[in-house]
Structure 1
Amino acid sequence: MQVRRLEPSFGRYDELLAMIRAAFAYMDARIDPPSSAQRLTPATLKEKALSEIVFLAVDDQRLVGCIFCRPEPQRLYIGKLAVVPDRQGDGIGRALLMAAEAEARRLSLPAMRLETRIELTENHARFHAMGFEKTAENRHLGFDRTTSIEMTKHL
């Protein structure tokens, strides 16, 4: 398995979208509101990918994971971290986060930030084990309860 940066010539957005949706499918019955991954199309995914820093995990030409990164003041925002279901637990997510951390350091950003849904407590634990700490609780527009937590890792 290799982690590499998405190049502008990348043309496999249908496959990338299918991989993200497969990775996020377990959330469908658990989170409210639904994941923004459900609103993506190949065209909007391409637009997003070309405006952000994206790392892909590839195993023998098969897309097995991705992570989208966006520089913010003083931190790198991490979004759409996805690993195909049959490869979860193989260290791919950790490898993608390590690529993002290296990018944050390259950009001289002292921290990384991500958001995870309040219901996905197993993700909170995984990110905590990788050095992220809860820094905020957030709500989606129209909700009167916490729907996600923000976690930050200082580098």
Structure 2
Amino acid sequence: MADSIEIVRIDGCFHRWGDLLALILSSFAYMDGVVDPPSSAHRLTAASLAQKACDEIAFVALEDANLVGCVFFRPEPGFLYIGKLAVSLDYQGKGIGRLLLSVAEDLAREMRLPALRLETRIELTSNHQTFGRWGFVKTAENSHAGFDRATSIEMQKRLA
């Protein structure tokens, strides 16, 4: 499956913001009623995604013309932050997430950043395990504003 997937950087020619929003919302829908506070994906709009792609570095995964995955990256001191990693429900478990993370590793090396960083919700233990299998380790627990308990964990992957 991953052989037929093309990873493309979003540039000024990209116009499928509604499709990208639908992909993110559908792939994050399993979190509804599970994570507290609710996912920030619910605050996204087509316009805010377009702005996010201008402010950050974004890639999509395509199979033919089908939008099947995406990821956003933000350089930080010492890290490349990974956000809004999403894979279409029909394509999960087929290696697309791993392909998108390999783009992260390549980009971080190009930018001379020694590690990747991401955050995942405390309740999403299967995500913790998946990222752990991909070489990420838990480095911190964090709380969203207004919460007196941990609501997310930070994970990092050092690059060789």
Partner of 1:109: 113
**Aligned counterparts, 1:2-151, within 5 A:** 2-151=6-155
Q: Deviations over 1:47-66 (max 9, x none)?
A: 00111111110001111000
Q: Deviations over 1:28-71 (max 9, x none)?
A: 12101011000001111110011111111000111100010000
Instruction: Tell me the secondary structure at the aligned position of residue 8 of structure 1.
Output: coil
Instruction: Tell me the secondary structure at the aligned position of residue 71 of structure 1.
Output: strand
Counterpart of 1:58, as a letter, is L
Alpha-carbon RMSD across the aligned residues, in angstroms, is: 0.6
User: How many residue pairs align between the two structures?
Assistant: 155
State the percentage of identical aligned residues. Answer: 61
What is the deviation of 1:79? 0.3
Separation of aligned partners in 1, 2:9 and 2:53? 11
Separation of aligned partners in 1, 2:104 and 2:22? 22
What is the deviation of 1:4? 1.3
Counterpart of 2:30, as a letter, is Y
Q: Deviations over 1:61-89 (max 9, x none)?
A: 11100010000001100000000111100
Separation of aligned partners in 2, 1:32 and 1:6? 31
Instruction: Tell me the secondary structure at the aligned position of residue 113 of structure 1.
Output: strand
Separation of aligned partners in 1, 2:37 and 2:10? 29
Q: TM-score, normalised by structure 1?
A: 0.99
Separation of aligned partners in 2, 1:145 and 1:84? 31
Instruction: Tell me the secondary structure at the aligned position of residue 34 of structure 1.
Output: coil
- List 4+ stretches of structure 1 deviating above 6 A: none
